[in-house]
Amino acid sequence: MKRKWALRQEISWVIAAKILLLAALFTLFFAPSKRPKIDADAVSRHLLSNPRGNAP
pLDDT along the chain (56 residues), means of 10: 87 98 93 84 85 60
Say whether pTM exceeds 0.85: no
Return d(Cα 24, Cα 17) in angstroms, integer.
11
What distances in angstroms separate CA 13 from CA 2, 16, 23, 52, 55, one per listed residue? 17, 5, 15, 54, 60
